[in-house]
Amino acid sequence: MDSDTAVQLLKAQQQVWDHSFAYVKTMAVQFAIELDIPSVVQSHGKPITIGELAAALKIAPARAPFLGRLMRMLAHLGYFVENFKDGDDETAASYSPTEMCGFLVNDNPFNTVSWLLLANDPVLVDPWRSLSAWIRQPTTGGAAHNGKKLYEVCGEDPRVGKLLGEGTGRDSWLFSKALVAKCGSHFQGLKSIVDVGGNTGTTSKAVAEAFPEIHCTVFDLAQVVSALEPTQPNLSYVAGDMFQKIPPADAVFLKVSFSESYHTQSSHFREDCEMLN
Ligand SMILES: C[S@@+](CC[C@H](N)C(=O)[O-])C[C@H]1O[C@@H](n2cnc3c(N)ncnc32)[C@H](O)[C@@H]1O
């Protein structure tokens, strides 16, 4: 092999290594959340050193160098800015939060903590481990955790249902700020919308508040909406299965609501949507 080819192959190998260890990035973020690092750095009010961070987290000095490595990685990923003073070696760096760090702070209404914990949970990770066996099966069902789909697990395990509800709800909190501010023209002339797979209705509540002339129906599985009471006069909750029948409305609103079932069970859904048009 000539040297140019070797150099080129090494570049490709670097990418493959990057993919092989991609989980390290996600696990580093989860590790930071579990230790509460983002909240501590954000509330510190000025750049925090590793010594100060270790003291705040009650981590023994013997372990502080590992905390330093984690912080370097998180800075590399964009969650913190690493500050050096002239002449500092890398162990004397201090860290300030970035905008991304705010998404890992539990007190922020738009945080993505639950989303990240769900993404790393065996419920979502395990089906990937058996994907090669699954694809050889002759059946059409999607890959599943212990034979169950995510929404079935949510119905049975409140911990998973809570992670999904909180994760999507907080995403919807931020999303709906932009939606009502920037997309108002899309709602003009509508008297009703149905938010299909609307979960607890974070987006619909924002739409109902911004456009009082529109009635918003949050449509989701019974396990999600049957115990919920509307908080606004132009909001209601309806339980059901989107692949059986969706309530009539002037427009259908969908946000992160499709699962693998869409490919196999969606004919009713498309028919219902076509009837609305
Ligand atoms: C990923 S969440 C998205 C929630 C919300 N649209 C949002 O973006 O915040 C998907 C939602 O679809 C609901 N869902 C799943 N299958 C459904 C079905 N067959 N009929 C109605 N809702 C369903 C789930 O319960 C869940 O609340």
pLDDT at 85 (0 to 100): 74
CATH annotation of 3-104 = 1.10.10.10
Is residue 168 lining ligand 1, measured as CB closer than 6 Å? yes
CA 63 – CA 54 distance, rounded (Å): 8
Quick one: pLDDT at residue 143?
Answer: 64
H or E element in which residue 273 lies: helix 267-276
Distance 101 CA to ligand 1 centre (A): 27
pLDDT classification of 45: cutoffs 50, 70, 90: very high
∠ CA 176-181-183, nearest 5°, is 85
Which DSSP symbol is given to 142?
P
Is pLDDT of 220 > 50?
A: yes
pLDDT level of residue 276 (50, 70, 90 thresholds): low
Q: Read off the pLDDT band of 212 (50, 70, 90).
A: very high
Distance of CA 270 from the midpoint of ligand 1 (Å): 16
Confidence category of residue 277, pLDDT binned at 50, 70, 90:
very low
What ipTM, to 2 d.p.? 0.98
Give the pLDDT band of residue 159 (cuts 50, 70, 90): very high
CA–CA dist 27, 190 (Å, integer): 44
Helices (H), 102-226: 113-119, 122-129, 131-135, 150-156, 158-182, 202-210, 222-225
Query: How far does residue 22's CA lie from ligand 1's centre (Å)?
Result: 28
**Which is more confident, 275 or 233?**
233
Range(s) of the chain covered by CATH 3.40.50.150: 113-276
Which of 220, 246, 255, 272 should be mutated for ligand 1, with most atoms under 8 A from CB?
Answer: 220
Residue with tokens 């529109």: 214
Q: Provide, rounded to the nearest whole percent, the portion of the chain with pLDDT above 90.
A: 75
Regarding the beta carbon of 204 and ligand 1, being less than 6 Å apart is answered: no
**Averaged pLDDT score across all residues of the chain:** 90
C-beta of 241 in contact with ligand 1 (< 6 A): yes
Instruction: Take atom 23 of ligand 1 and give the residue whose Cα is closest.
Output: 197
Q: What is the pLDDT of residues 53-79, one digit of tens each?
A: 999 999 999 999 999 999 999 999 999
CA of 227 to the centre of ligand 1 (A): 16
Residue 133: pLDDT over 90: no
CATH 1.10.10.10 boundaries in the chain? 3-104
**Would the CB of 220 count as within 6 Å of ligand 1?**
yes
Question: Which CATH number applies to 113-276?
Answer: 3.40.50.150
Phi, psi dihedrals of residue 193, rounded to the nearest 5°? -135, 155
- Which of 173, 221, 266 for mutating ligand 1's site (highest number of atoms within 8 Å of CB)? 221
What is the distance between the alpha carbons of residues 50 and 38, in angstroms, rounded to a whole number? 13
In ligand 1, which atom is closest to the CA atom of 165?
A: 27
